[in-house]
Chains A and B, each alone.
Chain A
Amino acid sequence: MVDIRLAHSRQKPEKHESEELSNLVSPGNIITADTGFMRGHGTYMEDDKLYASVAGVVERVNKLICVKPLKTRYNGEVGDVVIGRIIEVQQRRWKVETHSKLDSVLMLSSVNLPGGELRRRSEEDEKMMRLYLKEGDLISAEVQSVFSDGSLSLHTRSLKYGKLGQGSLLHISPSLVKRRKTHFHNLPCGASIILGNNGYIWISPTVNEETDQTGGYEQNFEVYIYPVQRSDREVISRLRNCVLALAEHKMQLYDTSVLYTYEASLNFAVKDILKPEIMSEIIDSAQQRLEREGT
């Protein structure tokens, strides 16, 4: 099936007029000529006027004015949930790619090792590091601290964090992930989703709570022993396409928005979700439902 479209038969999205537009700026826009404000991230001062240096939304906290960019690398904050990929095993630490400006580190001392939480990290453990996590592995983790240069130190000292097994990884803009109390969701449709603050989204089949929360260091990748059912795969693919659709329409991602989009998409085949006209239809109906009953 090949479906070729022409660029100028593309429909222009209807303009939703909203108040939000008033605080949307592009680089070089004057935010204020008032001198009583402080210059925050994403802004610069010239001739006593405050300009935006990035395209995004103006945010004001008391006297401080910042512009939060729409398209950005991930700026980590302590406590954020992130998904990352191990890119290097080093002395007592792993280098992790988390879509921030600099690579993050995961110290050997900030992971849960098999066999007890409060165990001294011996030389043996150092030698075994590649056995726990090797290059290419995906992990979920929490930001423990931010170094002065902006790079992040991660930790996985909770059973919900750790190595990720089978599933699907998506990359979207970090500014689209809404900060919530929890970023781990077991959706009623039969899949789990981790909305990483760094814009990496992990969708996997829901696992049995009791048996599989081992911090993930003994994850089983043997798909021939634990195959993912076709129905699960369909759900995961549908969720993946829904998340992409939300990101394409610049909608905030959180459990409710993902779930409503998923439910709105059920009338369509999985592969059709990414077609522009069907995508906007799904997003429109999800958006209406969010406005009506969303939280």
Chain B
Amino acid sequence: MPLDDLENSDFVSFPDFFLQRMKIFREDGRGCEDYRHLEIETNVLSNTSGSSRVRLSNTDLLVGVKAELGDPAAEKPDRGKLEFFVDCSANAAPEFEGRGGEELATEISNMLARAYDCPRCLDLHKLSIIPGQQCWVLYIDILLLECGGNLFDAASIGVKAALHNTRIPTVTVSQDEGLMELEISDDPFDVQRLEVHSAPCIITVNKVGHSHVVDASHKEEECSLARLMMGVTSKGTITALRKEGSGSLDPSSLEDMMETGKRVGENLNKSLMNALIEDEHQQSSKKKPHGFLR
């Protein structure tokens, strides 16, 4: 059934009120392209190479990046690797207990891996140490602490912030009688940074009724029949695209949603970079992490 017919059928009964008001006015008064209150903090975990915490209204997550030495992939010998892992804490939702959150976790990590699987968004050559033999592997762990909708976007924001915060120790390679020797600097200031300016953020555009909304709350997600997730860089390049949900989409609305996503993505990346730069300036004067205290 085409999505646009749904509104005239009796398929949707109770969220009608919701759908109808969303056309013009969302539940909390936001417009279609507004985000909820978003707060980030970096450098929250001392035992990681880089970390961040994101709170998007009720959605709460923690991201840690750990740099470890490893073998490069056979087909890309001169590049480092990114490994995404998502953990859905049972604190976030009772459904996540046991193995309940695994499906969602793989979905998020796959989407992130796809969004970052683009040669121009993150310079992985920098992570290479000895081509074909040694490279840095960045293990990016995302812990979901609270679910309030729009997990994908929040996770990607967290990842970008954590990567910006990541400091990888400098490695010097010396050749000794044909044997390569690695020396990892243990000076906390002798470090490499990652260039994240062009790293993508995931933007989820939900089709609710006739409108295309971003940053859907949990309730709005329940009402949305189809959503489009895309990795968008600050220049508006779409690095990954994925459609989810049972509803079908018209090609014209698909294009429309992509346009919306691009526009929002550019804005989001810009604000995020500004916030991260400001954060760095404050980092020096900052005494201790804010963490979970409110």
A binding-site residues for B, Cβ under 8 Å: 1-10, 136-137, 165-168, 221-223, 227-228, 230, 233-234, 237-238, 240-241, 269-271, 273-276
Contact = CB atoms under 8 A, between A and B. Distances in A.
A10 B39 contact: yes
Contacts of B264: 2
Nearest to B264: A2
A7 B29 contact: no
Given A10-B39, A241-B29, 6 more contacts: A5-B40, A6-B40, A7-B55, A223-B17, A274-B57, A276-B37
Given A2-B268, A271-B28, A273-B29, A7 B39 contact: yes
Nearest to B290: A7
A222 B140 CA distance: 48
Contacts of B278: 6, 9
Contacts of B40: 4-7
Nearest to B273: A4
Interface in B35-86: 35-41, 53, 55, 57
A215 B35 CA distance: 39
B279 interface: yes
Contacts of A136: 14
Q: What is the interface residue range for chain B against chain A?
A: 35 or more
A276 B35 CA distance: 14
A86 to B, nearest CB: 11
Interface stretch (B18-26, B167-175, B247-255): B18-26
Contacts of B16: 166, 221-223
Contacts of B34: 1-2, 271
A10 B38 CA distance: 12
Contact of B271 (A4, A273, A274): A4
A270 to B, nearest CB: 3
Contacts of A238: 29
Main SS at interface, chain A: mixed
B35 A1 contact: yes
A237 B267 CA distance: 26
A1 B226 CA distance: 22
B100 interface: no
Interface string B121-146: 00000000000000000000000000
B284 interface: no
A228 B57 CA distance: 27
Given A223-B20, A241-B28, A7 B33 contact: no
B242 interface: no
A7 B55 CA distance: 9
Contacts of A274: 28, 36-37, 57
Rank and list the top 10 A-B pairs by shortest CB-CB distance, nearest first: A270-B29, A7-B41, A166-B17, A271-B29, A4-B275, A7-B290, A237-B29, A223-B16, A233-B21, A2-B35
A7 B53 contact: yes
B90 interface: no
B28 A221 contact: no
A94 to B, nearest CB: 16
B24 A230 contact: yes
A227 B27 CA distance: 16
A168 B268 CA distance: 29
Contacts of B275: 4-6
Contact of B272 (A4, A228, A237): A4
A237 B24 CA distance: 12
22 contacts: A1-B34, A1-B35, A1-B267, A2-B267, A2-B271, A4-B40, A4-B275, A5-B275, A6-B278, A6-B282, A7-B41, A8-B41, A165-B17, A166-B17, A222-B16, A228-B20, A228-B21, A230-B24, A230-B25, A233-B21, A270-B29, A275-B37
A190 to B, nearest CB: 15
A228 B38 contact: no
Given A3-B38, A10-B290, A233-B21, A269 B27 contact: no
B246 interface: no
Given A1-B35, A3-B37, A137 B14 contact: yes
B29 A3 contact: no
Nearest to A13: B294
Given A8-B290, A9-B282, A136-B14, A2 B38 contact: yes
B286 interface: yes
B120 interface: no
A1 to B, nearest CB: 5
A240 B28 contact: yes
B6 to A, nearest CB: 13
Contact of B14 (A221, A241, A269): A221
A4 B17 contact: no
Contacts of A5: 37-40, 275
